[in-house]
Amino acid sequence: QKEVEQNSGPLSVPEGAIASLNCTYSDRGSQSFFWYRQYSGKSPELIMFIYSNGDKEDGRFTAQLNKASQYVSLLIRDSQPSDSATYLCAVYGSSNTGKLIFGQGTTLQVKP
């Protein structure tokens, strides 16, 4: 079983729609969860992080965490073509070795 699992996509949504990106993880002791966005040919950039169960909103982005189900998601409201990118889910493990584990990423395409 992969430590952090994402559907590689591509996920295609029309402009203005809600894009829903999902991620599951295997380490039940994981403490913190991150979403990075990576445009083609660029490096990843942090867009959201969440530590507690529930929802966390930042502008058009909402991160959702359910530790019991070992599930984290990212919702993008009013999707724009500029949101087209690969979204990487990352999980900080329960040990103190500084190990941030990334998923493979989901490619999102927002069509005008």
Partner 1 sequence: ETGVTQTPRHLVMGMTNKKSLKCEQHLGHNAMYWYKQSAKKPLELMFVYSLEERVENNSVPSRFSPECPNSSHLFLHLHTLQPEDSALYLCASSIRGDGELFFGEGSRLTVL
Binding of residue 22 to partner 1 (CB under 8 A) = no
Using the rule CB under 8 A, is 100 a contact of partner 1? yes
- d(CA 108, CA 58) in angstroms, rounded, equals 19
Choose which of 7, 22, 27, 49 interacts with partner 1 (CB under 8 A): 49
Inter-residue contact 97 to 11 (CB < 8 Å)? no
> Which part of the chain contacts partner 1 (CB under 8 A), choosing from 10-18, 54-62, 74-82, 90-98?
90-98
- Among 28, 68, 82, 98, indicate the residue that binds partner 1 (CB under 8 A): 98
Helix or strand or coil: residue 83? Answer: helix
